[in-house]
Amino acid sequence: MKALSLPMPAEALPRRVRFTALLRLGKLLFGTPLNGLLTVLFGAMLVVTVPPMLRWLIIDAVLFDPDPDACREAVGACWSFVYAKSGQLLFGIYPLAERWRPAIVCLVILALLGWSVRPASWTARLLALWIATLAFIVWLMGGGFGLAEVPTASWGGLPVTLILTVVAIGIAFPVGILLALARRSTMPAVRIGAVVLIESVRGLPLLSILFVASIMMPLFLPEALLPDKFVRALVALTIFAAAYLAEVIRGGLQAISKGQYEAAAALGLPFWPMQYLIILPQAIRVVIPALANTVIVMIKNTSLVLVVGLFDLISSGKAALADPEWPSPAAETFLFIGAIFFALSFSFARFADFLERRGPVSH
């Protein structure tokens, strides 16, 4: 007869779970000679690099001391420079007395971005809210109607990065969809025009497009019709992003089977309802990783607007480092700026992961 097994005491269960987890971890780290060697090498690298890094970053660092001489004598990082120059790093050369305005703009944009990632907010009212918010941002940053006027040449730092990213991507995405559809059009004139535009922009680096917007455009347009540097940079970024997004979306359109088009035609749907209701939702979902990659690249490409004389985050950091009273801690400054770019890019990457897991959007 088969012996009856008694249930394990409750107090023994946690010990068994921990022992099983340790066995799995040991097998993962040292299950094969190669895994064991890599584990030892990685552990040695951590032992060699982490303690000195922690000493420089935190233990021996100067945190909030406003005295520049303390940074000159310190052997660790000079975070007091970042703390003392945080206003200039975040807002560039914006007038000191008016920096509350770009601070509000940054908070409003980040709050609205956080609101926009909620599926419940994806209605037509969200577009109206963004348009009203951008109008408010232009008034608050530029002044007028009760506020001191500040020209766009004095804008800088994080607000410039956020405004350029949001507006350029927001306009480039629908334009990219239209270009992708135009490139697949059966009308030769429409298709050739889209191909010429897309390939011309993709064949040029963004720096050259910004150079044309900054240097060449004033040679061909009268001063009365010439937009300021901020608008020219925004147009250049939008055109560049639209061309790359168009190719990404075209790849998604090509991934849709012919049966989807035939089923939509059998239902009697015209071209635009078919695209909006059936084809584009599937195509966009297919290329979400590529779309996220393009948007993240565009977030970082906003740092190139320095060629048109705008003070983005990196330009603001370089200007702050030029202060002769401080020892110019470049590593700490660019670590701070890099952390901001990383936070923006990582947040959007997590949003893209959420969209992939969510599945198709119902209409």
* Residue 65 pLDDT grade (very low, low, confident, very high; cuts 50, 70, 90): confident
Structural domain includes residue 36: no
Query: What is the four-CA torsion angle of 304, 306, 310, 313, rounded to 10 degrees?
Result: 70
Q: Partners of 62 in the beta sheet?
A: 78
Overall domain count for the chain: 1
Structural domain includes residue 31: no
> Which tokens hold the place of 249?
């979306």
- pLDDT digits over 283-308, tens only? 999 999 999 999 999 999 888 888 77
Structural domain includes residue 135: yes
Q: What integer pLDDT is reported at residue 160 of this predicted model?
A: 92
Q: Where are the beta strands (DSSP E) in 187-250?
A: none
Give the structural domain span for 217. 86-322+329-358
> Which tokens hold the place of 330?
């470049």
Interval 170-174 mean pLDDT: 94
User: For residue 171, what is the domain's CATH number?
Assistant: 1.10.3720.10
Structural domain includes residue 18: no
Q: Give the Cβ contact number of residue 292 at 10 Å.
A: 20
- pLDDT digits over 184-202, tens only? 998 999 999 999 999 999 9
Interval 90-100 mean pLDDT: 92
Structural domain includes residue 138: yes
Structural domain includes residue 116: yes
Structural domain includes residue 254: yes
Structural domain includes residue 12: no
- pLDDT digits over 9-60, tens only? 545 546 666 667 776 777 777 777 787 888 889 889 988 999 999 999 988 8
Side-chain-facing half-sphere of 299: CA atoms under 13 Å: 20
